[in-house]
Amino acid sequence: MLRQAERALGGVADPLTLGDGAGARGSHEMTGPSGIRRGFSQSHNPAEAVRELHAQIAQPDPGLVVFFCSANYNLDSLATEIARHFPREHTIGCTTAGEITPIGYLDHSLTGFSIPAAECCAVAEIIPEMSAFRMPRGHGAAEAAVTALARLGHSVDQKQTFAMLLSDGLSTNEEALLASIHERIDNIPLAGGSAGDGLRLKQTFVYHGGRFHQNAALLALVNIQHPFKIVKCQHYTGSNIRMVVTAADPAKRIVHEINAEPAAQEYARIVGVDVAALTPMMFAEFPVMVRLGGDYFVRSIQKTNRDGSLTFFCAIDEGVVLTLAQREDMIENLEAFFQDIRQEMGPPQLVIGFDCILRSLEAEMRQVRHRASRILAANNVIGFSTYGEQFTAMHVNQTFTAVVIGKDRAR
């Protein structure tokens, strides 16, 4: 599995209103104290998988239905079944690099949740042609979503509304997309993830309007009758080891020089390995970070190029100071993260989670994936393994970002 991951990761090429494996067989309905429902299926058959999910999360009057699915499904068949069982005007989703279900991490599955219309009102806008993204498209989508929510009688209030962004995971334009959206909804909390396709890194999809869209992003605004919070979790902190990007191609996310030396050579020297040892798992072991606003954000390296340059998963530019990350214990960090959430908000009804694929792979490599699964399941996380995470106006890597939905808000 890890060798397959290294080969795959190392080979990456440069308005609607929303108000056969063993496993789940329609008996795992998960409902919180409100009408929020969670479910999943491990069936490899699209029709059976959707029937099982529907049996667990169907609502008489849904305000929002969200699903995350393996790209191994026949997506045309899956879209047909989802449109048949769920109201297309209320349903959104995307393909994944792994799913987070009511029983934790799974692969090749279908998972999702629903919230009744009495508890939320949501609108969504599709943003096409992400590989040729232009800023006005993000502006237009954000404006259309705000207008659509207002027509339904809801103002875009940061205390009652959050944004969720699902994006093509291979477009390399997430930073521009986030910047354009935040020019219009800067005060609205936002979290999201970049869609995946397992470890193939070939094509990713978002679901909107009854069908899957390639090379697209999806912006949803959700006005909800429960307290919520946008959060992030990472088990890396900054160290005293720093380096400066001295030559880069920001449009392609390529760094040519670090400290005025060939990038791969200098990075290898700093982490204490030979250039030949720079595999994706090595990059996951020794990520670099940038410091913004007093906080550290991970900037993961994707691969070494033949010319000795490094390709990143996030935007990078000349003059940026990078800090070599220090790793904390992943499980202790995750347990402390959710303990803090419970102390502040009580046990969450639902956590919509966007978890970097590199975190899942690291957990597998360190043989703690089952422990992480138990923590995620115990905290009602539904989500997916991503090709990148969105947190407010930032696109990050090797991070868990989420929308935490708590108990009923007093009114």
CB-CB contact of 157 with 225 (8 Å): no
Higher pLDDT, 23 or 297: 297
Whether the per-residue pLDDT at 144 is higher than 60: the answer is: yes
pLDDT band at 208 (very low <50, low <70, confident <90, very high): very high
Q: Domain coordinates of the chain in residue numbers? A: 2-233+333-405, 236-327
- Following CA atoms 9, 10, 11, 12 in sequence, which dihedral angle do they give, to the nearest 10 degrees? 60
What pLDDT, on the 0 to 100 scale, is given for residue 111?
A: 98
A 10 A CB-CB count for 294 gives 5
Q: What percent of the chain has pLDDT over 90?
A: 74
CATH code, residues 236-327: 2.40.30
pLDDT band at 19 (very low <50, low <70, confident <90, very high): very low
Whether the per-residue pLDDT at 2 is higher than 60: the answer is: no
What pLDDT, on the 0 to 100 scale, is given for residue 296?
A: 87
Q: Which two tokens stand for residue 135?
A: 């800023």
Whether the per-residue pLDDT at 409 is higher than 60: the answer is: no
For the chain, give the mean pLDDT: 90
Separation CA 251–CA 195 (nearest Å): 20
> Which amino acid would we find at residue 265?
Q
Higher pLDDT, 190 or 393: 190
Q: Which of 378, 372, 385 is nearest to 348 (CA)?
A: 378
Which of 52-61, 62-71, 115-124, 298-307 bottoms out in mean pLDDT, i.e. has the lowest?
A: 298-307
pLDDT band at 274 (very low <50, low <70, confident <90, very high): very high
Instruction: Give the CA distances from residue 374 to residues 53, 314, 337, 379, in Å, rounded to whole numbers and listed in that order.
Output: 21, 30, 14, 9
The pLDDT of 229-249, averaged and rounded, is 95
pTM as predicted: 0.88
Residue with tokens 């490094």: 310
